[in-house]
A and B are shown apart, each in its own frame.
Chain A
Amino acid sequence: EAQVTQNPRYLITVTGKKLTVTCSQNMNHEYMSWYRQDPGLGLRQIYYSMNVEVTDKGDVPEGYKVSRKEKRNFPLILESPSPNQTSLYFCASSDKGKDTEAFFGQGTRLTVV
């Protein structure tokens, strides 16, 4: 089954404790991205990657890092989480090409206390 898998689904952590949210896709997609979703704001892109070792900032990259060492994986790293990073996070992947639909993971609910 074609899917984007995120882990964990739920995470509660404390301010300053580094964490990683994993994302993996099995569709051999070249393009992957991370979004955060907050009430009333829709989804905002954090980082994206057009291929292995190629990453770039989205609209809200501050406080986040990513890496793309393999085509299928695109982890999101929070080096020093803060309460304003409490949000619902989605990973997405899409095929090469300009106008192709993005497939989303199930989401990770992160709470930073």
Chain B
Amino acid sequence: GESVGLHLPTLSVQEGDNSIINCAYSNSASDYFIWYKQESGKGPQFIIDIRSNMDKRQGQRVTVLLNKTVKHLSLQIAATQPGDSAVYFCAENRGGYNKLIFGAGTRLAVHP
């Protein structure tokens, strides 16, 4: 597998539990945020996005929360499954055409 996750913080959860992955962003001017999932040996895959005029958005089993006051973003995964095991990145758009700035990532490990 790839070595990109060797130094990442890891969140370990039991299968079936809910997972919460957090991300702090730095630029108050950022107005668009995306969560990506990266499985071993693959490129990042879009999960969900949110614009700065919203504070919550829901998808299938996933919810993203945005707190602009403290510049914090979270990804909630309901009923976590083994297939959710991956590295998760938040990305912020600081303006312009898709100028994405990525966080360092969090590894999610799901145990049976």
Binding site for B on A (CB under 8 A): 4, 31, 33, 35, 37-45, 48, 50, 88, 90, 92, 94, 96-107, 109
Contact = CB atoms under 8 A, between A and B. Distances in A.
Contacts of B45: 104
Given A37-B4, A42-B89, A102 B100 contact: yes
Interface of B: 2-8, 31-32, 34, 36, 41-46, 49, 51, 89, 91, 93, 96-100, 102-105
Given A88-B2, A106-B43, A107-B43, A40 B97 contact: no
Given A90-B43, A99-B49, A99-B93, A40 B98 contact: no
A44 B97 contact: no
A88 B2 CA distance: 9
A45 B49 contact: no
Given A94-B98, A98-B97, A39 B3 contact: yes
Contacts of B36: 104
Contact of B34 (A35, A48, A96, A101): A101
A12 to B, nearest CB: 15
Given A33-B98, A88-B2, A109-B2, A42 B43 contact: no
B42 A107 contact: yes
Dominant SS among interface residues on chain A: strand
Given A39-B4, A40-B7, A101-B49, A45 B100 contact: yes
